[in-house]
Amino acid sequence: MSSAASRPLRYVPAVALVVDVLAITVATAVATLLRHRVPGFSTELDDADLYLTGPALVVVWLVTLWLSGSYAANLFGAGTDEYKRVVNASLLAAGLVGVTCYLARYQFSRGLFLFAFGIGVPLLVLGRYLHRRALHRARRAGFLRYQVLLTGEPENVDELAGVLRRESWLGYEVVGALVPGGRPGGATPGGVAVLGDLADTLQHASDDDLDVLFLTSGSGSALTVRRLVWALEGHDVQVVVAPSVTDVSSDRIRVRPVGGLPLMHLEPPRATDASRWGKRLFDIVGSALLLVLFSPVLLVAAIRVKAHDHGPVLFRQTRIGRHGQEFDCLKLRTMVVDAEARLAALRAEQGYVDGAEGLFKLKDDPRITRPGLWLRKWSFDELPQLVNVLRGDMSLVGPRPPLPSEVAAYASDTTRRLHVRPGLTGLWQVSGRSDLTWDEAVRLDLYYVDNWSMVQDLTILARTFSTVVFHRGAY
């Protein structure tokens, strides 16, 4: 990149290359050792031959990764394209090695071939994943960020700026905006600094400190955009067209060029799919297995709750399920027996307005008992909800089950949360839990409802484990 702030971005592909070299070298070395220990492979090539074939394999593999675009500067940080290229390039490298050795009648070690690619491909993907995590962490800390200029109508600029600020791991730092009739020194309603009018786009986009130019709706006609791209051909500036579509998963988007016009096709929301028999069968089997697995924990927890104050073990609370149906949500009791009676005073003390911010949550809540602290820390208090899942009131994965008072205050869009069964866990659980604002929780729930897939459910369940282990947002 051209700007001083983003010069370190040049090293991101270089670091990825180092990670790949380490992964492939380790895989080849391990494959060489395993070849001597696995029956059927130990009598193949002499060790002298391996000194040539091993390094040759590493070089061919790396060159294939390079030629496939696995080190393109705009590849890192988001999306699945990076992993797809790495896997596809590895399969291509394996095919090239196999075909070349066959045509040249060279006796390449089968053990080295099988173990190297069998170990190397997972290692490459793991390495790229860790590289991405490190990149995200650096960007959240304010490093390795792109300098971004937004253009378009003020409302579109604010909407996009809000997404870029929220998803700080993307690394986009908004430096300003160009809006119709804008003048330097002003600001959009959302607080984005206005640098000028849309007519000044080329002047600002040519600035050496700019990395990315985002064109939102209202940035100009197709001819204007095309001329702008032509004019920036000699500048190291990425041009990104941002349509007025947010919170739609890539699985629901198809871009099909027709007559030179890239048309974006959006598949219908998937709320209906999230209620079909396949998901219900998964819930029944999964909740039954988890109940058996955690039955010792439930027994110990019940004994601790009962022994503490001799009150009831279970806490039943009316929640709203699919299509607005009420049900008794079961939890292990973590608060004092008269917790509900103290709630009104506690809300008044905290200045809480009913329905304004969703579920009332308070750090260091004085009503929580000593066993309750332990139960909440490990989320064991929610285990009885597996019974709700078995009964069909809830699902293993879904939106958070709301209170009737919350539903009564819902806006029209928010009622879409009720199109599917609420979940024992969900995007809200793995994205901050109690640390989320009300608006963030609603956005995540609506995203889940509209973009449901079984793969997403499995991913959320896997992420729930790490969230519980590290106690993120639990109180």
Question: Same domain for 315 and 419?
Answer: yes
119 part of a folded domain = yes
Same domain assignment for residues 242 and 288: no
Handedness of CA 209, 213, 218, 224 (dihedral sign): positive
Main-chain phi, psi angles of 177, to 5 degrees? -145, 155
Question: Which neighbouring-strand residues pair with 253?
Answer: 266
- Reduced to 3 states, what is the DSSP secondary structure of residue 7? helix
Characterise 444 by phi-psi region: left (phi > 0), alpha (psi -120 to 50), beta (else): alpha
Confidence of residue 4 (pLDDT cuts 50, 70, 90): very low
- Secondary structure percentages of the chain, helix, strand, coil, to 5: 55, 15, 30
Q: What is the CATH number of the domain that holds 184?
A: 3.40.50.720
Residue 379 lies in a domain: yes
Is residue 263 domain-resident?
no
Bridge partners (DSSP) of residue 193 are: 187
Domain shared by 105 and 192, yes or no: no
Q: Please tell me whether residues 436 and 336 are part of one structural domain.
A: yes
Last residue of a domain, one of 140, 159, 180: 140
At 266, give phi and psi (nearest 5°): -105, 125
Q: Domain ends where: 119, 140, 161?
A: 140
pLDDT of 199 above 90: no
pLDDT at 420 over 60: yes
- What is the predicted pLDDT for the residue at 392? 95
For residue 52, what are the contacts with CB-CB under 8 A and spacing of at least 6?
none
Same domain? For 201 and 340 the reply is: no
Q: Is the pLDDT reported for residue 291 higher than 90? A: yes
Average pLDDT, the chain: 86
Q: Are residues 136 and 78 in the same domain?
A: yes
Same domain flag for 167 and 134: no
424-460: per-residue pLDDT in tens?
A: 999 988 887 666 778 888 889 999 999 998 989 999 9
| Residue 265 domain-assigned (yes or no) | no
Per-residue pLDDT, averaged over 27-54, amounts to 69
Do residue 296 and residue 373 come from a single domain? yes
Specify the amino acid at residue 203.
Q
Check residues 31 and 350 and name the one with the higher pLDDT.
31
Question: Does one domain contain both 170 and 134?
Answer: no
User: What's the whole-number mean pLDDT along residues 406-431?
Assistant: 91
272 vs 36: which has the higher pLDDT = 272
| Domain carrying residue 62 | 7-140
Domain membership of residue 474 (yes or no) is: no
Q: Are residues 332 and 278 in the same domain?
A: yes
3-class DSSP string for 148-193: EEEECCHHHHHHHHHHHHHCHHHCEEEEEEECCCCCCCEECCCCCE
- Report which of residues 250 and 213 the model is more confident about: 213
Instruction: Indicate the pTM of the whole model.
Output: 0.75
User: Confidence band (pLDDT; 50, 70, 90) for 470?
Assistant: low
Pair (114, 171) in one structural domain = no
Q: What is the DSSP letter of 393?
A: S
Q: Residue 327 and residue 284: Cα distance in Å, rounded?
A: 18
What pLDDT is recorded for position 433? 67
Q: Are residues 190 and 134 in the same domain?
A: no
d(CA 235, CA 78) in angstroms, rounded, equals 24
* Chain centre distance of CA 171: 15
Give residue-wise pLDDT tens across range 318-340.
Answer: 999 999 999 999 999 999 988 87
Question: For 106-162, how does the pLDDT look when each residue is reduced to its tens digit (9 = 90+)?
Answer: 877 787 888 899 999 999 999 999 999 999 999 999 899 999 999 999 999 999 999
- Whether residue 254 is contained in a domain is answered as no
d(CA 218, CA 158): 13
**Residue at 22 is within a domain:** yes
Last residue of a domain, one of 140, 173, 202: 140
Q: Which of 290, 272, 247, 254 is nearest to 390 (CA)?
A: 290
One-letter amino acid at 460 equals I
* Structural domain contains residue 176: yes
pLDDT > 90 fraction of the chain, expressed in percent and rounded: 50
CB 416 within 8 A of CB 446: yes
Instruction: Note the helical H segments in 38-109.
Output: 47-67, 81-104
Side-chain-facing half-sphere of 64: CA atoms under 13 Å = 20
**Helix ranges restricted to H, 358-453:** 370-377, 385-391, 404-408, 427-430, 438-450
The least confident of 44-53, 57-66, 260-269, 406-415 is 44-53
- Please give the tally of structural domains in the chain: 3
**Residues shown for the chain:** 475
* pLDDT the model gives residue 249: 81
